[in-house]
Chain A
Amino acid sequence: MRRYKTSYPISWRFMDVLEAAFALVLPRGGGRLTPYLLLTPAVLLVGTLAVGLLYIGDSSLRVLDRSTFLFSDYWTLENYQRAFSESFTATIIWRSLVGAVIVTAVTLLLAFPYAYVMVRTSSALLRKFLLVALFLPFFIGQVVRAYGWLIILGNQGIVNDALALVGVEPLRLLFNYPAVLFGLVQYMLPFGVLMLAPALTAIPEDIEAAATSLGANWVRALFHVVLPMARPGLIGAGVVVLTLSLTDFAMPAILGGGSQDFVANAIYDQFFRTSDQGFGASLTLILIAVGSMTVGLIFAVFGAGTLALGANRK
Chain B
Amino acid sequence: MTEIQAAAVSAINVEMTFGTFKAVKDASFELQNGKFLTILGPSGSGKTTLLRLIAGFLTPSSGEILINGRSVRAVAANKRSIGMVFQKLALFPHMTAAENVAFPLKMRRFDARTIPDRVAQYLKLVRLDGFENRRIHELSGGQQQRVAIARALVFEPDLLLLDEPLAALDRKLREEMQLEFRRIQKELGVTTINVTHDQREALVVSDQVIVMNDGEIQQNAAPTQMYRMPSNPFVANFIGVTNDLSGILTRVTSADATARFGNVELMGVHGGAVALEDGTPIKGAIRAEQIRIASAEQSMAGLDADFRGTVLDAIFEGERHVYEVEVPELGGESLKIIHHDRNDQSALEPGALVHIGWKNRDLQIFPAKQ
Q: Which A residues are within 8 Å of any B CB, using their own CB?
A: 204, 206-207, 209-217, 220, 224-225, 228-229, 231, 314
Contacts and interface: CB of A to CB of B under 8 A. Distances in A.
Contacts of B356: none
A215 B107 contact: yes
B297 to A, nearest CB: 49
Interface string B91-103: 1111000000001
Contacts of A215: 78-79, 104, 107-108, 155
Interface of B: 55, 57, 77-80, 82-84, 86-88, 90-94, 103-104, 107-108, 137, 151-152, 155
A215 B92 CA distance: 14
Contact of A229 (B55, B79, B87, B93): B93
Contacts, number: 59
Contact of A220 (B57, B86, B92, B107): B107
Contacts of A216: 78, 103, 107
A228 B108 contact: no
A217 B80 CA distance: 12
B93 A209 contact: no
B84 A210 contact: yes
B107 to A, nearest CB: 3
B155 A207 contact: no
A248 B55 CA distance: 51
A22 to B, nearest CB: 38
B88 A213 contact: no
15 contacts: A204-B90, A206-B87, A206-B88, A207-B90, A213-B83, A213-B84, A214-B78, A214-B103, A214-B155, A215-B78, A215-B104, A217-B78, A224-B103, A224-B107, A225-B92
Contacts of A229: 92-94
Contacts of B88: 204, 206
A224 B108 CA distance: 13
Nearest to A205: B90
Contacts of A207: 90, 92
Contacts of A231: 94
A20 B88 CA distance: 42
5 shortest interchain CB distances as A-B pairs: A215-B107, A214-B104, A210-B90, A206-B90, A215-B108
Nearest to A216: B107
B90 A209 contact: yes
Contacts of B87: 206
Given A204-B88, A206-B90, A231-B94, 7 more contacts: A209-B57, A210-B84, A210-B86, A210-B92, A213-B80, A216-B78, A224-B103
A123 B359 CA distance: 59
